[in-house]
Structure 1
Amino acid sequence: MNVSDAYKYLGVVFTAKGMVSAPILEGIQEGLGRLNGIGLTVFERYITLRDHLIPRLVYSLTYGKVSQSQVRQAEQVVRLAVRDWMKLARDTPREFYYAPTSAGGLALNELEVRRKLFHNKRMSSLRDSKDPIIRAIIAQDPKYVRPQQAIIGGLLYRDSDKAETLYAKALWAKTDTCGLASTAQGHRNFMFLTDRGQKHNDATFCAAVQIMAGAPLTKAKRARFTQLPNRNKCESCGDRIKNLQHILQVCPRVRGARIKRHDQVQALLEVSLKAKNKKFHKDNIIPMGGTVRKPDLVIIDEKKISVVDPTIVSDTLSLQESSKLRWSL
């Protein structure tokens, strides 16, 4: 073997001069090039990137030598690719890419953070080792096992923290994605990001992700970058800010679309009830005192009757608050 030759040992490349820096950036660029060069849907590209391409780099990040600048460039390349695939806004919060899907994020690995967390985990194992040789090395050079500081969404990671929790907190603190905090009250949220058996066309998938990220170009978002008449206020609602929440829940201009959305949700519920052979009645009128209630569905079971009124609630209220408000009217 010549001095200029390289060899791989346990997945890490060495030369006569020592460990060779892993080509993280080249690996990401090559992988993304392949994904863009074949006929995959956006969902398939996203899943391949999240579950295969990025995790392949974990070993090199953990045990190999990597350039910090390359790691940061690779992260930027990944975010730009995902933003282009899903047509996300330029000001999409950074944490949206990395927060877990259960919190309303895309659950990509942030390479720089993961590198530090993997490093700290290895150093913690070394510090706890009972091996006399390792203990002697640590005694001679304690800095060798010193942990590295990891910052997640502006928050300092501590040993008692979970990275996913910090990403969620940072995401929920952003103006465009604060409503995602209500997802913690739901059940199996955002399954369309994890269930590989589902078939998504690009338009539907990207639209759903854009809503999660608060990406649609509303007047409130445009007003951040451009001077508009009446600034960020709605043309129909006086002093109300025309953001996504206002459009989806209140604005009279899209009342018809909201009714259609409600009917589609109710139709899904009816299909589910029919599949389970549940009896139900629609268009009900229930006298109550001097007035009447008109719930959408009355479900009749063997031992109970359930009154159901499907409601798409605002992300500014908890489900409990919305329920109390609904039934107090």
Structure 2
Amino acid sequence: MSLLRSHRPPSYPLGKSWEYHSTGNDSSNAFFYAAINAGGLGIPHLQSRIPLNRKVRLDRHLASQNPLLHWALREPSIQSFHRLALKTTVIGGEVVTSKEQAEIAWRNSLWNTYDGAGLRDTPTLPQSHNWLRHPERLRPSTFIRAIKLPAGVLPTKSRRSRGRPAIHTQLTCRCGTAVESISHILQTCPITHDSRCRRHNDVVNSIAKTLRRKGVSFLLEPHIPFASSYLKPDLIVFKGNCVYIADIAICDPHRMTATIKSKKEKYGSSEAIKATSDFLQGWNRQFTRIIQAPIVFNNRGFLHPTSFHPLSCMDISKSQICDLCFLCICGSLKTYDAYMRGCDTMST
């Protein structure tokens, strides 16, 4: 009786609960079953996982030299096990014969969808998805909305109009310059300019707070004279005999590598390095190397792999890097909410 009471069904209607958790009828199932590092949720797909596991077990038994085991495999009672192990498994139109092939098939199936296309060329790290592996650390509402951001299912005019006839003016953003999409809202819309600045500043201030707590010397947003203007990296960090020029950026998923390249070109040219060296000599700092350390996230909370090593060299731990990734997600959700509420004003 106590077991029955502990597993009593919930009193609220299950339909409303599922509707609250749903990612939308037009979202792909591949998002649920693709690996976490590929941008999915990593939920096991039992319909394909069980036959593949039984196939591995059957192959192991057949390779055994034990005659009793071979005799047992010929028994009629175990034929149902054989049938399931020999069942053809198809994922996304591909026939798979191993768990590794199934993982690749789910990944490709996700990347071939419109919502998951941005994940195809997006480099990532396990630290970018740590919040997804530990949902108990988040409020349920925050966790669900954080899932909807990388899934690409947050409501916008362009997404709601899928499969329906619509003219361009019906899909235009409130700023009147482009189609209302999640990428436009989080990256270029004039209405969300202030929110995007807050998202960027929150990440910079979080890194600065960590460096300050660990006693690492740094300069916050220095103005380095350069030609007729200034170089304005977010952080200059002094670590040993090295100086790290850290400029933080949050961009679209498909622009991460291009953003890394542009940051290195901007601060890594010989003229920029000389201007930085002359500027730092005025601070009486002893250093032998100036290292370009662009820190690039995308608006889904993924950190570019080349940004991991500089952060580690600055004494930023793995757990703190995980927090920075989730901070980008929270900033993107706040930017989206600001647009939907219309609380930000148009930038001039």
Q: TM-score, normalised by structure 2?
A: 0.63
Instruction: Tell whether the 8 Å contact from 2:156 to 2:181 is kept in structure 1 after alignment.
Output: yes
Following the alignment from structure 2 to structure 1, what is the Cα–Cα distance between the partners of residues 72 and 110? 41
1:81 to 1:273, Cα distance in 2 relative to 1, 3 A: farther
User: What pairs up with 1:105-144 in 2 under 5 angstroms?
Assistant: 105-132=40-67, 134-135=69-70, 144=82
1:288 to 1:177, Cα distance in 2 relative to 1, 3 A: same
1:157 to 1:126, Cα distance in 2 relative to 1, 3 A: same
Q: Are 1:278 and 2:216 matched, yes or no?
A: yes
Q: Are 1:174 and 2:110 matched, yes or no?
A: no
SS of residue paired to 1:215 = coil
> What is the Cα deviation at residue 224 of structure 1?
0.7
> What is the Cα deviation at residue 192 of structure 1?
0.9
User: What pairs up with 1:148-297 in 2 under 5 angstroms?
Assistant: 148-159=87-98, 161-181=100-120, 184-195=123-134, 199-230=137-168, 232-234=171-173, 236=175, 238=177, 240-297=178-235
1:37 to 1:303, Cα distance in 2 relative to 1, 3 A: farther
Instruction: Tell whether the 8 Å contact from 1:123 to 1:147 is kept in structure 2 after alignment.
Output: no
SS of residue paired to 1:189 = helix
> What is the Cα deviation at residue 254 of structure 1?
1.3
1:305 to 1:36, Cα distance in 2 relative to 1, 3 A: farther
1:134 to 1:115, Cα distance in 2 relative to 1, 3 A: same
Aligned position for 2:26 = 91
Q: How many residues align?
A: 257
User: What pairs up with 1:48-87 in 2 under 5 angstroms?
Assistant: 84-87=19-22
Aligned position for 1:301 = 239
> What is the Cα deviation at residue 262 of structure 1?
0.8
User: What pairs up with 1:17-56 in 2 under 5 angstroms?
Assistant: 36=10
User: What pairs up with 1:307-322 in 2 under 5 angstroms?
Assistant: 307-317=245-255, 319-322=256-259
1:187 to 1:137, Cα distance in 2 relative to 1, 3 A: closer
> What is the Cα deviation at residue 222 of structure 1?
1.1
Following the alignment from structure 1 to structure 2, what is the Cα–Cα distance between the partners of residues 83 and 119? 32
> What is the Cα deviation at residue 186 of structure 1?
3.0
Following the alignment from structure 1 to structure 2, what is the Cα–Cα distance between the partners of residues 279 and 119? 57
1:249 to 1:163, Cα distance in 2 relative to 1, 3 A: same
> What is the Cα deviation at residue 158 of structure 1?
3.0
Percent identity among equivalent residues? 23
> What is the Cα deviation at residue 180 of structure 1?
2.8
Question: Residue type matched to 1:308 in 2?
Answer: A
Following the alignment from structure 1 to structure 2, what is the Cα–Cα distance between the partners of residues 33 and 128? 43
Following the alignment from structure 1 to structure 2, what is the Cα–Cα distance between the partners of residues 282 and 185? 27
Instruction: Tell whether the 8 Å contact from 2:159 to 2:181 is kept in structure 1 after alignment.
Output: yes
Aligned position for 1:102 = 37
> What is the Cα deviation at residue 308 of structure 1?
1.2
SS of residue paired to 1:185 = coil
> What is the Cα deviation at residue 154 of structure 1?
3.0
Encode CA deviations 1:123-164: one digit per residue, 9 max, x unaligned.
2123322233554687899x9477221122332213483432
> What is the Cα deviation at residue 90 of structure 1?
2.1
Q: Which deviates more from structure 2 when the two are superposed, residues 224-233 or residues 109-118?
A: 224-233
Following the alignment from structure 2 to structure 1, what is the Cα–Cα distance between the partners of residues 225 and 152? 41
RMSD: 3.4
SS of residue paired to 1:298 = strand
SS of residue paired to 2:244 = strand
Following the alignment from structure 1 to structure 2, what is the Cα–Cα distance between the partners of residues 128 and 139? 14
1:135 to 1:202, Cα distance in 2 relative to 1, 3 A: closer
Instruction: Tell whether the 8 Å contact from 1:102 to 1:183 is kept in structure 2 after alignment.
Output: no
Following the alignment from structure 1 to structure 2, what is the Cα–Cα distance between the partners of residues 173 and 244? 18
